[in-house]
Every structure is written in structure tokens, then in C-alpha cells.
Structure 1
Amino acid sequence: MDVTIVGCSGSFAGPESPASSYLVRAEHEGRTWAILLDLGSGALGALQRHVRPDQVDAVLISHLHVDHFIDLCGLYVMMKYVPGGPMREVMPAWGPAGTGDHLARAYGNVDAEDVLGVFELHELSDGITFRIGPFTITSVRVRHPVEAYGFRVEADGRTLVYTGDTDACDALTPLMAGADLVLADSAFVEGRDVVAGIHLTGRRAAEAAVRAGGVRRLMLTHIPAWNDPDECRAQAQEVWPGEVELARPDATYRV
């Protein structure tokens, strides 16, 4: 199983990276399966450097803030209006309650029924597990001002965890436990950002991974352009016993 960092900028697209989007691929039954974890602002353009969007098998949306879902609007246009007819019948998608209505309002002149003609929408909830090809995915409700989920993705005997946007919470322990790679929100800086219930810092991400136990690799992501990534990594390194990695746009990592 591989993960490609399509976008890792926090809160908005930065000068070097789109906002949140992660392409996960694995071989199964003679072909490459691909899923997307989020499709935030600017990510659809960058995605096309790595895969044709119609070859994605499913899109999973962690929550409905624009830096995690808004490029579904562009994907809707691409799939529905490509010359020669629709790119495919429907695109399976998972998201929080109300994803279809939210997307229709964001696009501006369609209704939810029209959206459902392009996306086959499934509603996430805490602790559900579902399969897409070789991937077994579990959604875990995390701590954010809106309904938000982290994803635990298992394939080929490996486990990738994506926290989505979250502050420290008990749910991070079962989410992260035994993961081969954790992509952890690190949008806040310890000592500067003091509002609770929104984001992790590098230090809190490392503390959560240590508490969960068995995590092999910790990679910080969702770092806004106004933050110094090395400061976030240094704060995590105070706690994490191994190397703290930073997500790099367009990089692909073997899980």
C-alpha cells in the first residue's frame, strides 16, 4: 500500500501545496485500486499529476470544511460535463451527514438529487467499517468543531491512519494503535495556539501516537503556510522516540 501526498497545507492552499488530499493505492485482483482521503482546495489539479480522477475508486471526506472537501465541486464538473459524455456512471463517496446538500450549496445552482447523479454517497458514523477493493476502512469520530472523522485504512497487512482535523481526544488511541504510518494533524503550535477542540500540535500528535502504542512512523501534515514546519517537528520530537517525518506534496510513501 502506497500513499501519495496530493496536498498537505492546513486550512487553505499554500504556495507549495494544495490543501488536504491523500491518494492511497494498492494492487488487488490484477489492477491498482485507488482511494482519496479528502479533496480540499486546490487538490483536484495536483491529483491529475498522479492519476486520472475517473480512475479513483472512491473518495472519503473527513469533514465538511472547505480545505477538505471543496474540490468535490470541480470533480463534479469534470465527471458530468467532460466532452463525449460522463467519465463514469457514479463515483462512490463517503462523508458526514449532509454531504450531498453541503456540496450542492457550495456549487451554487444544483440540488442534492443532481449531485447524487454523479456521486454515490454513503454516510459516515463513528466506528463503522467498510471495504473498497483491497482496503478495509474504519471511520472514527474525532474532536473538531464540526462532525469530523479520522480514517484507519488497512490493506496488504499494513495500516495507514489519517487523523483528519482533531484535537487530542480518547478516540485517537484506538484510531492510531499499531499503525504502520500515522498522518497526523499538526496545524497548531504549542504555546501559541491555545484554543481547545480544533487541532493538534506536533507535540500533542506525538503524545497521542505514543499513548496509542505500536505506531511505527509518525508523519505531521495539515501545517498551514504561516507555520514553520521545522518548529512543529521539533515540538513533536521532544516526545516521539524515533524520526518525526513531515508530509511533502507530491511525495509517495510506502506504508
Structure 2
Amino acid sequence: MLLTTLGCSGSLPGPDGPASGYLVEADGCRLAIELGSGVLAALQARHDPFSMDALLFSHLHPDHCSDFTTLAVIRRYHTDPPHDTTEHRLPVHGPSESADRFARAYAETAEELLATDLSDVFEFHTLVDRAPFRVGPFEITPVRVDHPTEAYGFRIATGSATLAFTGDTGPCDALRTLADGADVLLSEATWTHADDRPTGQHLSGVQAGELAAAAGVGRLLLTHVAPWTDKAAVLTEARGRFPGPVELVVPGGTYAVDEPVVRVIGGHGN
């Protein structure tokens, strides 16, 4: 299983890369997770945007989904697509209001909205807490987490590897179930630790490290660090609470999930 970071800036695109977006690949199957601001450009630089087998959204804040409308433009209006996009609709798995929210973001007028649901080129599926589903070789289990909107983390498993992704969340009991024994935990760490941080929103480096230790994961990858947050400080916090390997993901980095040590195959960053 390979994890590729298309974007990892928390809350908005940063000066060195897009907001949230990832690819997970195994056995020729390509799963996209999130499509935040700037991610579609990064995807096109690496892959054919028609090559995704499914798309997952943890929640519907713009830094995780705003490029979806431009993906709709590609799938509806590309002059030379590799296949008929109405016969091969892209499966989209997201929170309960996904289809309606994306249609509203895409439609230019109220009149157009009446005739727009985007189901001509997308096949929408609603996530259900703890209800697993399959995409190719992946068994995907969404787990409801603690965020101001309906939000999920994903546990993604094949026969040889397990990746846990927190999405955006504050500390909650569900995260332990999500991450339990995973080979790699891809955890948000939006800010440094402080007792007066708002609850039910995000994790600090301390909290990401504590989660990794409590869940007994193999490795911890930190993501979603806000542009105004000191990345080195977040990394130091996490390493102080988790004795295993800890890294900050970088835009364009590809990580082998099923290897005993993190191997960054490509990418750039600090």
C-alpha cells in the first residue's frame, strides 16, 4: 500500500502547498481522500484525473473538498476523456449532505440548481459510522470523530497493511478504535499544545503522539499543520509522546505503508 500526499496544509492552502488531499494505492487501485484547495492541480501534475477508482471525503469544510466542483468540470466537459464518464461514474463516499452541498457549490443560479445533482458523472454514497465498505482491495471503515460538522476518520486495510486517517478531530474515544494497531497513523496536528485550545476541533502534536502510543501503531505521520503553526514544534511534541517513528508529511511525498520503516519515495518540504 502506498500513500501519496497531494496536499497537507491545515485549514487552507499554505505558501508551500495545497490543502488536504491524499492518494492511497494498492494492486492497481487508486483511492483519493479529500480534494481541498489546490489539490486537483497537484493531482493532475502526477496522475490522470480520470484514474481514480473512488473518492472519499472525511467532512465538507472547504480545505478538504473545495476542488470537487472543478473535478466535476473535468468529468463533464473534458473534450477527450479516456472513457465515458456517464457510464463510468466516479464513486464518491462522504457525509450525509455531500450530494446536495456539491450541487449547490457547482450550480451558478437557483434555476440551474433545480436541474443539477451531479449524478450524471458521480455516484454518491453516504458514510455510516463503523459500517465498512470495499473499494477494490481496500476495506474502508468510517469512524465518526469530534469536529464542529459531521466528520469521519477512515481505517483503510488490505490483507497486508492498515492505514488509519484521523480526518479533522479533537481528542475522542473513537480515535482509539480507529487507530488500534494500525501500521501507519496519518494524524492531523493543526496546532501546538495548550490547555486553552478550543475543544472538539483539532489535535495538537502532543495529542497525536498520545493517540499513536495508546493505539500501538507502527508509525505516526503528521499532517494538516496550519500555515501559522511551527511545524518543528508540532513534530517535537509528537516525538515526546510516541516512542516510534514520527514524520511530518510533505507535499508530493509517497510513503510505503506496509514497510517496517517509513520510506519517503518522493516529495519536497522541510
TM bin (shorter chain): over 0.9
For the pair 1:43 / 2:45, whether they are aligned, the reply is no
Is the Cα contact below 8 Å between 1:80 and 1:87 reproduced in 2? no
2:11 aligned residue: 11
1:99 aligned residue: 98
2:254 aligned residue: 252
2:85 aligned residue: 88
Match of 2:199 among 191, 196, 200: 196
For the pair 1:70 / 2:66, whether they are aligned, the reply is yes
Is the Cα contact below 8 Å between 1:12 and 1:67 reproduced in 2? yes
2:229 aligned residue: 227
Q: 1:252 to 1:193 in 2, by over 3 A?
A: farther
CA distance in structure 2 between the partners assigned to 1:130 and 1:227 by the alignment: 35
1:108 Cα offset (Å)? 3.2
1:25 Cα offset (Å)? 0.5
2:242 aligned residue: 240
Q: Which runs of 4+ in 1 moved over 6 A?
A: none
Q: 1:116 to 1:193 in 2, by over 3 A?
A: farther
1:33 aligned residue: 29
1:193 Cα offset (Å)? 6.0
Return the TM-score normalized by structure 2.
0.89
Return the TM-score normalized by structure 1.
0.94
Is the Cα contact below 8 Å between 1:54 and 1:87 reproduced in 2? no
1:87 Cα offset (Å)? 5.4
Report the number of matched residues: 250
Q: 1:192 to 1:174 in 2, by over 3 A?
A: closer
Unaligned regions of 5+ residues in structure 2, if any? 258-270
Residues 35-65 of structure 1 show CA distances to partners (whole Å, capped at 9, x for unaligned) of 0111111100001122111110000000000
**Secondary structure at the residue paired with 1:197?**
coil
CA distance in structure 2 between the partners assigned to 1:148 and 1:13 by the alignment: 20
CA distance in structure 1 between the partners assigned to 2:13 and 2:196 by the alignment: 20
1:116 aligned residue: 119
2:141 aligned residue: 138
> Counterpart amino acid of 2:75?
M
CA distance in structure 1 between the partners assigned to 2:62 and 2:195 by the alignment: 24
2:129 aligned residue: 126
Unaligned regions of 5+ residues in structure 1, if any? none
1:74 Cα offset (Å)? 0.7
Residues 172-219 of structure 1 show CA distances to partners (whole Å, capped at 9, x for unaligned) of 011000101111010021128611110000110111121122x00001
For the pair 1:161 / 2:158, whether they are aligned, the reply is no
**Secondary structure at the residue paired with 1:13?**
coil
